[in-house]
Amino acid sequence: MKVAREARSAAVVINAGSRRGAAHDLAVDAMRRSGVPISAVHHVLSGGELAATLDRVLAEGHDLVVVGGGDGTVSCAAGRVAGTDVVLGVLPLGTANDFARTLEIPGNLAEACAAVADGKVVDIDLGRANGEPFLNVASVGLSVAVTEALSPRLKRYLGPLAYGVATLRSYARHKPFRARLEFPDGDHEPLELENLLQVAVGNGRHYGGGNTVSPTAGIDDDTLDIYAILAGPLWEHVSIARFLKDGRFIEHDRVYHLTTRSVRLVTEHPLPVNLDGEIATTTPTDFTVQRNAVHVVVPRGSTSALLDGPGAVNGPPS
């Protein structure tokens, strides 16, 4: 399939509980007028309902699945279609929409619908954390508290600014932690770290409402970017935060950064792990990357990923 109109059958799955989920009817009508062969439309309100609906849609044999929602919704869908020939379309209806930002999918809904209808298909990598999928970033530490502080009401009224408000609230209550990074492929020596603010493992390029994982991070480079930020006084974290948008924060002397294809994160006590805005597993956590695992429709002008062909050589753990 080169464009969505070549699909045999398309299904649309909308998370109606996402920040802009109420716009789903307009989106479906727009795609149908553009020639997308939509034969099924589903609205969901919970994570459990989303997973079950996606499984049903795939069992029905649709070769294009268009998902509308935030990053957590899209990651769930990517995990379901990974390793198959099903193509994923994305309508960014959430708060941060970092996956869409990485692939240059427009935030404007009408333009996103046009991108689904007229775009091209590319291959992207999928991260796995204890087998659970993530597209953007998995993290332990401060980001978990930020996620817990991001109430639906706060996101609805403040949009991406909600991340800054939640971060300030969470920072004051954060307790530093210890962690060990182990590298099964032997590409790095084990790394023991103390007094940590956060450890993150990036598969994509953007996270947290437009922050950049690193200046060289990409979503089809078959690589995970790892960074660890040491805890410290507020003024030091303000200096780090100044460079979050372009990824140059990794050059700060209180930040460790390296790249790998596989890493195990062990903490002194089990800690929750945030996967694209959803608390989905705990440490110890094994992180891997599935190369070229998901086919996605992106705008024709997008340069963030290529169609490289089959290459999901690192499947999810059995």
Q: Which residues are identified as catalytic?
A: 278
Complete DSSP assignment for 10-28: EEEEEETTSTTGGGHHHHH
Residues facing 134 on adjacent strands:
127
Do residues 122 and 89 make contact, with C-beta atoms less than 8 angstroms apart?
no
Structure tokens at 276: 């694209």
Calpha distance 28→31 (Å, rounded): 5
Nearest CA to 55 out of 111, 7, 13 is that of 13
Nearest CA to 202 out of 130, 291, 295, 135 is that of 135
Calpha distance 4→21 (Å, rounded): 22
By the 10 Å C-beta count (0-12 exposed, 13-18 middle, 19+ buried), 282 is classed as: middle
Calpha distance 279→258 (Å, rounded): 24
Complete DSSP assignment for 201-251: EESSSEETTTEES-TT--TTSS-EEEEEEE---HHHHHHHHTTTTTTGGGG
